[in-house]
């Protein structure tokens, strides 16, 4: 089920009525939330709920064993079981064809003429998110960083909680499970603020991403021609906006819906396009994934504790795997590699050049960072390297006579949206939406809210999927 | 900050804005409208899973969708029609689905629109993709999508600004479509003239040409302008051999299991008729198809009473003329014993 759909409105109303209707006690409300979460997921493809159940049961058992087992070898076995099941799902459903393709290519370079028929398996929605979330529980249990969930119901709800089930934020056990222990009800202000966040999230997704930017990105990245530089830049900028609004929109909806239930989820985005440098970017973009990769990959790989070379290697491996997490294709690996290189180069410079960031050079550096990020988005969006190569060369204005696939209005529209996006991020980079909202009169917020609501309704998104569902 | 006050302002202003928006579009002459989209098609395709001896299936392009009046058909024949024709597409993917994925062996009526039917079977071609995407949607649609459609129908029936079209020709009034209509220049090439709506369809896909197309010549001419632009474009040559052979293979399989296959060539006029008679001469396209497939076939030119029907935009019959066409075709079929009147039986 998608947040931007009529069925979700009905679903949410029913859930809220049952949640606040004083007919269920807290345990039964949690059961209702769990059942609703399975309905939320199952309305997409019912059999795939079984994967959720397997992941839940295996990690619940592994977590229980890890909480009492003292034998280090056995503890490791329970952790490995959890990793094997969750990563096994990921490999089978997400990377199987990719691995098979590459295996076939390698084998055939030695003249074996091996031919493998890829199995076109449906990728279970949000599998990368819930497997990472549930793995974090067993890893934290293994490292004795968190306590065992008190009941199976609490744990199952942690794995399946519908607002963040299919596209995050990827929440750690200690941040979410403990919220299920005590009865939760949103205050009236929390509820209204949650509704406001839901509106902002839908506005980002339905109006900004799908209505104003998606078609331009599709036209440019779907073109078979060598493009004019202006078209290539406009398409890439449009995608940079689309991916942000799509994903941040989902996260904002998730945080808002959870808040309407009295549950607090962590921020997933903090105005990333105003980042100064790439370390800053990854503290602002998909925060729950970057912190997951930091805690469960970068630090175990050595982090910055074993010298510069090892740190750079850990950074590169983390970003390469981070790229692969997004999709089973080499274009995603290149996207990760570019970010890895950016991070390494940035650290090398930081050791040698010390710049005091002020408001004027800050905005220039943010703009430089954003420009470099756009080059990485080309690989993220392009389905083939040939497309990425053409677009990159056009972005360097090497194809002056390239095809023009966009009309002037479309170019102006995208440039206007992206300029506003960048300016908003810059002015918001050290504050939060809530802080700004407290500073403006209530009626101004109401008018802003009404405009967003009106634009969402007249955009009538026909239930476009969120981009990150495929990851 | 008082959030309750903000919410009150938002709800009040939001609702007032929507009412004004709805009234504006009504004032522009628009009426609530059901769009012919993938959900309507999939619902009809689902009916084929429980067919009986009274079931007759129609496939083809938009012409048979407009030109066969299903109410008259059902009344005159005592059968239940399932309309699976898809606008702007070749029927071959749908035919393939029926032959290979169902055991339907009743009457299958196929509308042949030569420029679409004989175009290609290349899966990447628009005409093929369009009908294949409907078949794929039928198999892949989720329960959430079914629920969304169910919930959107009452809104589509009552509100002008709620539309649910899938195609660029659907005259939706959503923000994206409205923005697409803004053209400052032709930087990326010439633009198509606006494609005004000329469909009135029911939930079970009974299509009718709206009255405005008959009464308002200027409105009908806007559609002719679109056709002229499309037809004067650089269209690839037809792939007669492959399309015919692919169809004949499917036809033979269908007939081998007892299926009753009927081909119908619906009328065209004006520029369409000129181009079709020159680029797709009957003797070279229609006749070999009929002969090779062994299907019973009905070409409008063989019926004097069908040669002067009114097609407001050259390609589809006006509602009253569709009734005439349907009755004449049914009579001819009954006379040939191709269909029996289950009602009188």
pLDDT tens-digit readout, A67-111: 998 899 999 999 999 999 999 988 888 778 777 877 787 877 777
Any B CB within 8 A of A450 CB: yes
Residues of chain A neighbouring B11 (CB-CB closer than 8 A)? 450
The predicted pLDDT at position B90 comes to 94
Any B CB within 8 A of A196 CB: yes
Pair B58, B204 in one domain: yes
* CA–CA gap between residue B309 and residue B320 (Å, rounded): 9
pLDDT of A390 higher than 70: yes
Among residues A286, A306, A326, A354, the one annotated as catalytic is A326
For the four alpha carbons of B152, B156, B159 and B161, in that order, the dihedral sign comes to positive
Q: Please tell me which of the candidates B3, B148, B172 has its beta carbon nearest to residue A463.
A: B148
Determine the distance in angstroms separating the CA of A246 from the nearest CA of chain B, rounded to an integer: 16
Identify whether B87 is part of a domain. Answer: yes
Q: Which two tokens mark A62? A: 């592994």
Any B CB within 8 A of A213 CB: no
Q: Directed axis angle between helix A173-181 and helix A127-142, to 10°? A: 90
The predicted pLDDT at position B325 comes to 95
- Inter-chain contact A442–B12, Cβ cutoff 8 Å? no
The predicted pLDDT at position B171 comes to 64
Lowest mean pLDDT of A301-310, A311-320, B61-70, name the range: A301-310
- Among candidate residues B227, B15, B38, B27, the one with its CA nearest the CA of residue B129: B38
Give percent above pLDDT 70 in chain A. 96
Report the chain B residue with the minimal C-alpha distance to residue A462: B164
- Inter-chain contact A405–B3, Cβ cutoff 8 Å? no
Any A CB within 8 A of B175 CB: yes
Q: Please tell me which of the candidates A42, A404, A460 has its beta carbon nearest to residue B187.
A: A404
Residue pair B224/B270 in contact (Cβ under 8 Å)? The answer is yes
CA count, 13 A, side-chain hemisphere, B149: 19
Report the chain B residue with the minimal C-alpha distance to residue A191: B3
Beta bridge partners of B263: B110, B297
Residues of chain B neighbouring A212 (CB-CB closer than 8 A)? 179
What does pLDDT average to over chain A? 90
Q: Please tell me which of the candidates B144, B161, B176 has its beta carbon nearest to residue A44.
A: B144
- Inter-chain contact A440–B1, Cβ cutoff 8 Å? yes
C-alpha distances in Å from residue A126, one per residue of A131, A297, B134, B147, B295: 9, 20, 26, 21, 49
pLDDT of A118 higher than 70: no
pLDDT of B345 higher than 50: no
Determine the distance in angstroms separating the CA of B18 from the nearest CA of chain A, rounded to an integer: 7
Chain B, 91 to 120: residues with Cβ < 8 Å from chain A are none
The predicted pLDDT at position A341 comes to 93
- Among candidate residues B251, B63, B66, B48, the one with its CA nearest the CA of residue B138: B48
In total, the C-beta contacts within 8 angstroms joining chain A to chain B are 139
Specify the DSSP class assigned to residue A440: S
Report the chain A residue with the minimal C-alpha distance to residue B20: A454
Any B CB within 8 A of A432 CB: no
Pair B23, B147 in one domain: no
Q: Which two tokens mark A351? A: 């050791």
Q: Quote the pTM value.
A: 0.90
pLDDT of A222 higher than 70: yes
Residues of chain A neighbouring B155 (CB-CB closer than 8 A)? 6
- Inter-chain contact A407–B2, Cβ cutoff 8 Å? no
The predicted pLDDT at position A69 comes to 86
Residues of chain B neighbouring A195 (CB-CB closer than 8 A)? 7
Q: Please tell me which of the candidates B9, B183, B185 has its beta carbon nearest to residue A443.
A: B9
Chain B, 11 to 40: residues with Cβ < 8 Å from chain A are 11-14, 17-18, 21
Tens of pLDDT, residue by residue over B306-321, are 988 999 999 999 999 9
Q: Please tell me which of the candidates B144, B164, B188 has its beta carbon nearest to residue A462.
A: B164
Q: Which two tokens mark A188? A: 């009236």
Identify whether B78 is part of a domain. Answer: yes
Identify whether B297 is part of a domain. Answer: yes
Pair B203, B130 in one domain: yes
- Inter-chain contact B188–A446, Cβ cutoff 8 Å? no
Strand B207-208, strand B200-201: pairing: antiparallel
Report the chain B residue with the minimal C-alpha distance to residue A465: B145
Q: Please tell me which of the candidates B151, B174, B189 has its beta carbon nearest to residue A6.
A: B151
Pair B25, B46 in one domain: no
Where is pLDDT greater, at A398 or A38? A38
**DSSP code per residue over B107-156:** EEEEE--HHHHTT---TTSHHHHHHHHHHHHHHH--HHHHHHHHHHHHHH
- pLDDT category, B73, cuts 50, 70, 90? very high
What does pLDDT average to over chain B? 90
- Among candidate residues B322, B259, B329, the one with its CA nearest the CA of residue B299: B329
- Inter-chain contact A43–B176, Cβ cutoff 8 Å? no
**CB-count burial class (<10 Å; 0-12, 13-18, 19+) for B186:** exposed
Determine the distance in angstroms separating the CA of A6 from the nearest CA of chain B, rounded to an integer: 5
Residue pair A455/A203 in contact (Cβ under 8 Å)? The answer is yes
Q: Which two tokens mark A53? A: 């159940």
Reported as type and span, the H/E element at residue A5 is none
Pair B23, B45 in one domain: no
Give percent above pLDDT 90 in chain A. 66
Q: Residues B250-261: what's their mean pLDDT?
A: 94
- pLDDT category, B174, cuts 50, 70, 90? confident
Q: Which two tokens mark B104? A: 């339907």
Residue pair A177/A59 in contact (Cβ under 8 Å)? The answer is no
Residue pair A466/A246 in contact (Cβ under 8 Å)? The answer is yes
Pair B18, B149 in one domain: no
Pair B107, B200 in one domain: yes
* CA–CA gap between residue B326 and residue B334 (Å, rounded): 12
Residues of chain B neighbouring A413 (CB-CB closer than 8 A)? 179
- Where does A161-208 have alpha helices with state H? 173-181, 188-202
Where is pLDDT greater, at B342 or B181? B181
- Inter-chain contact B179–A211, Cβ cutoff 8 Å? yes
Q: Please tell me which of the candidates B5, B161, B187 has its beta carbon nearest to residue A407.
A: B187
- pLDDT category, A412, cuts 50, 70, 90? very high
Residues of chain B neighbouring A446 (CB-CB closer than 8 A)? 5-10, 13
Any B CB within 8 A of A203 CB: no
Pair B4, B97 in one domain: no
- pLDDT category, B194, cuts 50, 70, 90? confident
- Inter-chain contact A44–B143, Cβ cutoff 8 Å? yes
Any B CB within 8 A of A217 CB: no
Determine the distance in angstroms separating the CA of B113 from the nearest CA of chain A, rounded to an integer: 30
pLDDT of A470 higher than 70: no
Q: Residues A344-364: what's their mean pLDDT?
A: 84
For residue A445, the tally of other CB atoms under 10 A from its CB is 22
Residue A390's contacts (CB-CB under 8 Å, 6 or more residues apart) are A226, A227, A232, A399
- pLDDT category, A32, cuts 50, 70, 90? very high
Residues of chain B neighbouring A46 (CB-CB closer than 8 A)? 143
- pLDDT category, A454, cuts 50, 70, 90? very high
Reported as type and span, the H/E element at residue B208 is strand B207-208
Instruction: Give the position of tokens 């497997």.
Output: A131
Pair B325, B303 in one domain: yes
CA count, 13 A, side-chain hemisphere, A381: 30
Q: Which two tokens mark B162? A: 């709620």
Chain B, 117 to 146: residues with Cβ < 8 Å from chain A are 142-145
Tens of pLDDT, residue by residue over A226-273, are 999 999 999 999 999 999 999 999 999 999 999 999 999 999 999 999
Residue pair A170/A292 in contact (Cβ under 8 Å)? The answer is yes
Q: Residues B182-207: what's their mean pLDDT?
A: 85
pLDDT of A471 higher than 60: no
Residue A407's contacts (CB-CB under 8 Å, 6 or more residues apart) are B183, B184, B185, B186, B187, B188
- Inter-chain contact A458–B175, Cβ cutoff 8 Å? yes
Helix (H, G, I), strand (E, B) or coil at B214: helix
Each domain of chain A, given as residue ranges in start order, spans 6-98+122-185, 190-276+357-470
- Inter-chain contact B9–A447, Cβ cutoff 8 Å? yes
Pair B235, B261 in one domain: yes
Instruction: Give the position of tokens 């902002």.
Output: A200
Q: Which two tokens mark A427? A: 């002015």
Tens of pLDDT, residue by residue over A6-21, are 899 999 999 999 999 9
The predicted pLDDT at position A48 comes to 87
Any B CB within 8 A of A360 CB: no
Any B CB within 8 A of A406 CB: yes
Q: Please tell me which of the candidates B5, B14, B148 has its beta carbon nearest to residue A453.
A: B14
Domain that holds residue B13: 1-30
Q: Any catalytic annotation for residue A326?
A: yes
Pair B43, B12 in one domain: no
Any A CB within 8 A of B177 CB: no
Lowest mean pLDDT of A29-43, A346-360, B110-124, B205-219, name the range: A346-360
Residue pair A28/A106 in contact (Cβ under 8 Å)? The answer is no
Pair B16, B44 in one domain: no
Identify whether B312 is part of a domain. Answer: yes
Number of domains in chain B: 2
The predicted pLDDT at position A348 comes to 86
Any A CB within 8 A of B9 CB: yes
Strands across the sheet containing B80-83: B80-83, B55-59, B107-111, B260-265, B296-299
């Amino acid at each position: 089920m998608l947040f931007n759909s009529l069925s979700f409105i009905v679903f949410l109303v029913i859930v809220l009525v049952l949640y606040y209707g004083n007919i269920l006690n807290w345990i039964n409300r949690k059961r209702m939330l769990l059942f609703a979460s399975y309905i939320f997921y199952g309305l997409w493809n019912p059999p795939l709920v079984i994967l959720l159940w397997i992941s839940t049961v295996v990690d619940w058992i592994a977590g229980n064993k890890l909480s009492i087992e003292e034998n280090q070898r056995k503890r490791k076995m329970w952790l490995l079981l959890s990793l094997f099941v969750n990563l096994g799902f990921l490999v089978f459903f997400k990377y199987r064809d990719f691995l098979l393709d590459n295996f076939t290519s390698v084998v055939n370079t030695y003249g074996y003429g091996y031919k493998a028929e890829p199995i076109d398996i449906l990728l279970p929605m949000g599998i990368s998110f819930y497997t990472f979330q549930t793995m974090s529980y067993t890893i934290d249990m293994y490292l004795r960083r968190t306590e065992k969930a008190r009941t199976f119901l609490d744990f199952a709800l942690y794995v399946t909680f519908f607002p963040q089930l299919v596209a995050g934020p990827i929440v750690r056990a200690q941040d979410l499970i403990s919220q299920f222990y005590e009865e939760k009800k949103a205050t009236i202000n929390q509820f209204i603020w949650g509704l406001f966040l839901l509106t902002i999230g839908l506005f980002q997704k339905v109006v900004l991403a799908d209505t104003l930017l998606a078609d331009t990105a599709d036209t440019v990245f779907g073109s078979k021609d060598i493009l004019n530089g202006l078209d290539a830049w406009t398409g890439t900028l449009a995608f940079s906006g689309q991916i942000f609004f799509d994903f941040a929109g989902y996260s904002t909806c998730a945080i808002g819906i959870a808040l309407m239930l009295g549950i607090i989820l962590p921020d997933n985005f903090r105005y990333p396009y105003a980042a100064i440098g790439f370390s800053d970017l990854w503290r602002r973009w998909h925060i729950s994934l970057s912190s997951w990769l930091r805690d469960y990959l970068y630090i175990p790989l050595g982090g910055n504790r074993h010298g510069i070379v090892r740190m750079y290697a850990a950074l590169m491996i983390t970003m390469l795997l981070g790229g692969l997490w997004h999709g089973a294709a080499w274009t995603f690996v290149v996207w990760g590699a570019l970010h890895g290189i950016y991070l390494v180069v940035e650290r090398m410079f930081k050791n040698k050049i010390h710049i005091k960031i002020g408001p004027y050079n800050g905005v220039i550096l943010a703009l430089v960072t954003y420009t470099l990020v756009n080059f990485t988005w080309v690989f993220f969006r392009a389905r083939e390297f040939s497309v990425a190569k053409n677009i990159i060369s056009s972005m360097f204005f090497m194809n002056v006579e390239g095809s023009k696939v966009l009309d002037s209005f479309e170019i102006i529209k995208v440039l206007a949206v992206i300029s506003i996006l960048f300016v908003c991020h810059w002015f918001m980079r050290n504050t939060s939406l809530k802080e700004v909202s407290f500073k403006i009169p209530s009626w101004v917020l109401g008018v802003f809210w009404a405009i967003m609501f009106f634009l969402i309704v007249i955009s009538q998104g026909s239930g476009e999927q969120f981009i990150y569902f495929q990851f | 900050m008082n959030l309750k006050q903000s919410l009150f302002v938002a709800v009040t202003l939001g609702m007032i804005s929507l009412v004004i928006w709805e009234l504006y579009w009504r004032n522009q002459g628009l009426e609530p409208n059901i769009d012919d989209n993938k959900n309507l098609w999939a619902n009809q395709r689902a009916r084929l899973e429980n067919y009986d001896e009274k079931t007759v299936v129609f496939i083809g392009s938009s012409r048979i969708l407009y030109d066969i009046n299903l109410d008259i058909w059902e009344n005159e024949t005592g059968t239940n029609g399932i309309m699976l024709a898809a606008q702007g597409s070749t029927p071959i993917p749908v035919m393939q689905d029926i032959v290979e994925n169902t055991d339907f062996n009743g009457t299958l009526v196929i509308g042949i629109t030569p420029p679409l039917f004989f175009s290609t079977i290349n899966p990447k071609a628009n005409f093929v993709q369009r009908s294949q995407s409907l078949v794929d949607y039928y198999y892949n649609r989720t329960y959430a999508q079914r629920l969304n459609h169910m919930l959107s129908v009452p809104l589509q029936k009552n509100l002008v600004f709620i539309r649910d079209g899938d195609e660029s020709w659907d005259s939706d009034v959503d923000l994206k479509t409205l923005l697409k209509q803004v053209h400052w220049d032709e930087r990326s090439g010439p633009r198509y003239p606006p494609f005004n709506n000329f469909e009135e369809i029911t939930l079970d896909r009974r299509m009718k040409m709206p009255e405005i197309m008959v009464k308002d010549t200027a409105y009908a001419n806007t559609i002719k302008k679109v056709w002229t632009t499309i037809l004067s474009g650089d269209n690839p040559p037809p792939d007669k051999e492959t399309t015919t052979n692919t169809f004949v293979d499917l036809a033979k399989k269908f007939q081998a299991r007892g299926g009753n296959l009927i081909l119908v060539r619906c009328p065209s006029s004006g520029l369409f008729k000129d181009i079709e008679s020159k680029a797709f001469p009957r003797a070279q396209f229609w006749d070999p198809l009929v002969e090779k497939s062994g299907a019973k076939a009905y070409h409008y030119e063989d019926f004097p009473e069908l040669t002067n029907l009114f097609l407001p935009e050259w390609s589809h019959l006006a509602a009253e003329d569709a009734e005439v066409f349907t009755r004449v075709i049914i009579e001819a079929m009954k006379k040939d014993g191709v269909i029996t009147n289950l009602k009188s039986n």
